[in-house]
Structure 1
Amino acid sequence: MHATSVLISLLGGVALLLWGLRMVNTGVTRAFGRELGKILNLSLRNRVNSFFGGLGVTMLLQSSTATALLTASFAGRGLVPAAAGIAIMLGADVGTTLVAQLLSFDLSWLAPVMLFVGFVRHSSAKSTRAKNLGRILLGLGMMLTALKLLVMASEPVRQSDVAQYVFSSLANEPVLTVVLGALVAFIAHSSLATVLFIVTLASTGGVPLDVGYAMILGANLGGALPPVLATMNGDAASRRPPLGNFICRLAGVIVLLPFLDLVAMELVRLESEPARQLVNLHTFFNLGLAAFFIFWTGPLGRLTEKLIPETRNANASTPVPMHLDKAALASPQLALANSVRDTLRMGDVLEQMFRDFRQAFENNDKAQLEPVRKSDEYLKNFSAAIKQYLTELGRETLEEEDEERCTEIISFSSDLEQIGNIVVLNLAEYLERTNEQQIVFSDADMKDQNRLFDMLVENLKLSFSVLLTRDMTTAGVLVRKKQALRDEVYKAANDHLERLRFDQSFAQDASALHLGLLSDLRRISSLISSIAYSVRLDAERLAAGKGTAKPASTDEATTLDPSGNL
């Protein structure tokens, strides 16, 4: 076979293998992503549970990179300390080796069955989860087909003088071979696919065993790089577990590489087939790392904390979205978690905006409005980035609950942006008019305004909790606080009109500005509490879909107006 044809066949086989791997990964995350997240969350009690949690999740996802990104998301939300995250990653590394062990056997006879059943399931299924189950079977069938194609395409490599010369040259350069294997794994973004490719080449004699051993070590090293780079723009907590995993693999490669010939002699005694020897090296290497570093996750976690310290004020001057990682779009649950994290940061900007405006308003100084206007620009940037990110996620088929969550986040971020517009366009104008016309509010009006500002900030903080937890009880508390603020606005307006009726000395301009301010504060309160109505309505729809919905009581019905106008 011509060299060009061989190369094209190998590239096609690798592409099919990677695509099949991607289909399995996306199918599992879309069908069972929420359950996988719960498994990781429940496995954080100790390092052993974390290890097995990472192992189990990775065996289902068939990608330690996906597990790393999921772990980074939990870590960024403060749910996973660095030590537990490293233990999860050690389990993920072992999980990929078990998948490689299984796929190293000749299962090509299963490929047509999986492709046919997967196609029928994906085409005929009505629910999203059932379609994703078909996607998983299609992906597995593609992977097995790809491995068979790679075996057929790599057979001529053994007779190629050029290929044998290149490989013989690499045999004398183990460090270069490790770098080459790491580069291939990094480009493929999959150590599993790289290992299977090397094993396939070795099974046909296309790659000498000593070269294959070094490339296996390189594949393990390169497979740890994508999560490190994918979390590079994240916060410190999310970056530590991938870095800790990379340190473990790098240390393992450095220690094992000088003794690779001795290890090879022991592997030959265990099994004679070259493919099995390479897979066993991959497995034993990661088991050895796990057995050693599982007892050192604490010190290793502290090391990553020193290497990546907290930078709390790094983005204080110019807040920008940090967590909208494109690589996470393959996992809807991970992408949604990332968007929630930046929406919460958007809320922090709005909270500071309130405080800056209140200070400027109390001082009657329009020069202090500059930070308020800058915050409004930050809010617009956040809202646009979150919408674009979730729009890209929405192009894929999502579970009903994920679609509702996606809409919920976009709506809440839009509401936060609209609140910023009200502050800049309306409230700031009140301050400018007050400053220019030397308007002075009465002590009673100022007291009402301050009380309402305090209630708004408190409700804003509570809305963040509702967005994060989607807890029905907390949502109910927010609705009641919104109603309480509405009552306070009415009371303040009535009290003001009562004072105006009996005291003719009140300035009409001050009265108009005060009533306008009260009206806008009520509008802001309605926008803040919209997340509570969204959460409660989503919960009712899901319950109704499962046949467990209960009719709302009269009091509950009055609180479920999504417009927020009660």
Structure 2
Amino acid sequence: MVNTGVMRAFGRELGAFLKFCLKNRFQSFFGGLSVTMLLQSSTATALLTASFAGKGLVPAAAGIAIMLGADVGTTLVAQVLSFDLSFLAPVLLFVGFVRHATASSTRAKNLGRIILGLGMMLTALKLLAFASEPIRTSEISQFVLSSLSGEPVLVVILAALITIIAHSSLATVLFSLSLAATGNFPMDVAFAMVLGANLGGAVPPIMATMKADKAARRPPLGNLFCRLIIVVVMVPFVNVVGPELALLEASPARQLVNFHTMLNLACVVIFLPFVGPLGRLTERLLPDNTRADENIPTPLYLDKAALDSPQLAMANAVRDTLRMGEILENMCRNTKDAMVTGNPQLFPKIRAGDQYVDDFDRAIKNYLTKLGRESLEEEDEARCREILSFTTNLDHIGNIVVMNMTEMIESSVKNQVNFALEDQEDFVKLFDIILTNLGLALTVLMTSEPASAKNLIQRKQLFREAERKSVNNHLRRLRSNRTMDQEASAMHLSLMSDLRRINSLAAAGAYLVAGLKEH
């Protein structure tokens, strides 16, 4: 709840802060640490980082530095929660509930969600202490624990699996603290559990980005390498670190949390100077997609894990909408070529492209509908409407191209209908304007800049004038030349009407961005 509340209330600000921290590896490290302290989850920070990496904003080296900072951030959260703060739980639960129930704005409700989540965390820690009490008195559990003593590799694996299932290294560390606080828990087993929590904590970000592009998957992979190496190095020394840490603090729980922090600080000291080579290693293991992979006409970026952050989810939707627009542009170019050349091999490609556009439209709408089930900030809601409106318009354009224009052009090829040379030239000229406007429309969607939107609206008007002039010239030729093919004339006028409708749909989204009413 803390993670979700922070992402929904301050996701855009956190994203901007992470971008600001990308100047060098040290700023990236402290950026990851700070964001994780707020989100209470290194996995959430990993998803933010992966989203930016997928856009090309975060190189692999900087992403790994952010992840190292996120690892340290979770240890600082564990440091705070290792103290007995259960007396704050009722206050936080009450204040959080009142805030969430009475708030009028979405951000205020999410602040209540954050406070409620903190209260629940403190309550859960107290309940963990009560729940682990039978372990202290159970002969069977004592036998199991004593049998695990001296088997650090097995404990590390078990703790890593628990962490993967829980999707939280913090939860596993806090659980081990509650067990150690009983006083009857073997400390070598507890230290091995912390090692396993650190290893398992690197897996959820990899699982969450499995379907993302390769650039987004590199920072979590680099972080896994760092944690795996440090854990493997430390496993033989689990029996040695205990007496040394006991010199700092006698409390078993404090020894564990200090070990957790020191382990991750050591990881930073060792690997932060080498994030460059680590980044290049991940780039070799996960090379950029080949051209053939990029052209696979299926949605790639609709990551369900990003739905907790409206900003990230909408950024993902925009990326796949741009790919949808590229498919539509290819359809339009093939349609123009089919009109000029009469090549029958182009018609199946156009129809296949329309099927891909339909698939994208359906997937993007389903994705944003899931996002819309939660209340959004006014700015986010407006952006969501822009994307949905744009995808709908692209789908309508695809339907016009396939059901009207392609059918008509294919019929003209089969029936050997000959268009006048002037009509063909006008068609090509107007179609080129359409393609330019469609490209500008994609830019408007990506940037949401009012200046680009107004430029597109002006180009829409210029197209109307050019199309009106073309139709008038055609009608003038038709009146002066009674031998003109009447069927070709009717088809040409119908194609002009279709181009006019496509132009209007391409420019429709610009009115929302420019804050104008369509006319």
- Length-normalised TM-score, structure 2: 0.97
Q: What residue identity is the alignment partner of 2:517?
A: D
* 1:49-79, Cα deviation, whole Å (9 max, x unpaired): 1111111111111111111111111111111
Answer yes or no: is 1:414 the counterpart of 2:392.
yes
User: C-alpha distance in 1, partners of 2:147/2:461?
Assistant: 77
Cα distance in 1 for partners of 2:148, 2:39 equals 33
Q: Secondary structure at the match of 2:288?
A: coil
Bigger mean CA offset, 298-307 vs 154-163: 154-163
What is the correspondence of 1:429-448 to structure 2 with a 5 Å cutoff?
A: 429-448=407-426
Q: Measure the CA separation in 2 of the matches of 1:316 and 1:109.
A: 55
Deviation (angstroms), 1:441: 2.0
Is 2:46–2:220's contact at 8 Å kept on the other side of the alignment? yes
1:377 corresponds to which of 352, 355, 374: 355
Instruction: Show the counterpart of 1:227.
Output: 205
Where does residue 223 of structure 2 map in the other structure? Answer: 245
| Residues 186-225 of structure 1 mapped to structure 2, 5 A cutoff | 186-205=164-183, 207-225=185-203
Q: 2:343 aligns with which of 365, 381, 400?
A: 365
The structural deviation recorded for 1:390 is 1.2
Give 1:242-391 correspondences, 5 Å limit: 242-315=220-293, 318-391=296-369
Paired residues of 1:155 and 1:205 also in contact (CA < 8 A): no
After superposition, give the CA deviation of every residue in 1:132-183 in whole Å (9 maximum; x if it has no partner): 1111100000000010111112122112111111112222211111111111
Distance (whole Å) between structure 2 residues aligned to residue 314 and residue 256 of structure 1: 43
Look up the match of 1:12: none
Alpha carbons 2:451, 2:514 under 8 Å: kept:
no
Question: What whole-Å deviation, never above 9, does each CA across 1:166-202 have from its counterpart, x for those lacking one?
Answer: 1122222111111111111110111112211111121
CA–CA separation in structure 2 for the residues paired with 1:362 and 1:235: 38
Q: For 2:475 and 2:22, locate their aligned partners in 1 and report how far apart those are by CA, in whole Å.
A: 58
Amino acid at match of 1:461: G
Question: 2:501 pairs with 497, 506, 523, which one?
Answer: 523
Note closer, same or farther for the CA distance 1:79–1:471 as it changes in structure 2 (3 Å cut). same
Q: Which residue of 2 aligns with 1:549?
A: none
Distance 1:190 1:50 in 2: 22
Q: Is the 8 A contact 2:307 2:371 kept in 1?
A: yes
Distance 2:178 2:461 in 1: 67
How far apart in 2 are the matches of 1:198 and 1:493? 79
Instruction: Select the residue among 464, 473, 476 that pairs with 1:498.
Output: 476
Equivalent residue number for residue 121 of structure 2: 143
Residue in 1 that maps onto 2:464? 486
> SS state of the match for residue 84, structure 2?
coil
Q: Determine which of 62, 68, 77 is the counterpart of 2:46.
A: 68
> Could you tell me the percent identity over the aligned residues?
61
Q: Contact 1:154–1:206 at 8 Å: present in 2 too?
A: no
Flag structure 2 segments of 5+ consecutive residues without an equivalent: none
Q: Kindly provide the CA deviation profile for residues 492-530 of structure 1, in whole angstroms up to 9, marking residues without a partner as x.
A: 212222222323332111111111111111111111112
Task: Mark the CA change 1:291 to 1:481 in structure 2 (over 3 Å): closer, same or farther.
Answer: farther
What is the SS of the residue equivalent to 2:345? Answer: helix
Instruction: Tell me, yes or no, if the aligned pair for 1:366 and 1:431 is still in contact at 8 Å.
Output: no
Aligned residue number for residue 92 of structure 1: 70
Amino acid at match of 2:508: S
Amino acid in the other structure paired with 2:448: R
1:334, CA displacement in angstroms?
Answer: 1.7
TM-score by length of 1: 0.89
Q: Which amino acid aligns with 1:134?
A: G
Q: How many residues align?
A: 519
SS across alignment from 1:516 = helix
RMSD between aligned alpha carbons? 1.5
In the aligned structure 2, how far is the partner of 1:29 from the partner of 1:316? 30
C-alpha offsets along residues 372-392 of structure 1, whole Å, 9 cap, x if unaligned?
A: 111111111111111111111
Instruction: Name the amino acid aligned to 1:224.
Output: A
Please give the alpha-carbon distance, in whole angstroms, between the structure 2 residues aligned to 1:294 and 1:478.
47
Amino acid at match of 2:481: D
Q: Which runs of 5+ in 1 are unaligned?
A: 1-22, 538-559
Write the distance in 2 (CA, Å) between the matches of 1:90 and 1:317.
34
| Deviations 1:235-291 (CA, angstroms, capped at 9, x unpaired) | 111111111111111111112212233333321122111111111111111111122
Residue 467 in structure 1 maps to residue 445 in structure 2? yes
Q: 1:207 to 1:478 in 2, by over 3 A?
A: farther
Deviations, residues 521-563 of structure 1 (Å, cap 9, x unaligned)? 11111111122112233xxxxxxxxxxxxxxxxxxxxxx223x
2: CA distance between counterparts of 1:329 and 1:57? 18
Please list the CA deviations of residues 338-397 of structure 1 after superposition, one character each: whole Å capped at 9, or x if unmatched: 111211111121122222222222211233211111111111111111111111111112
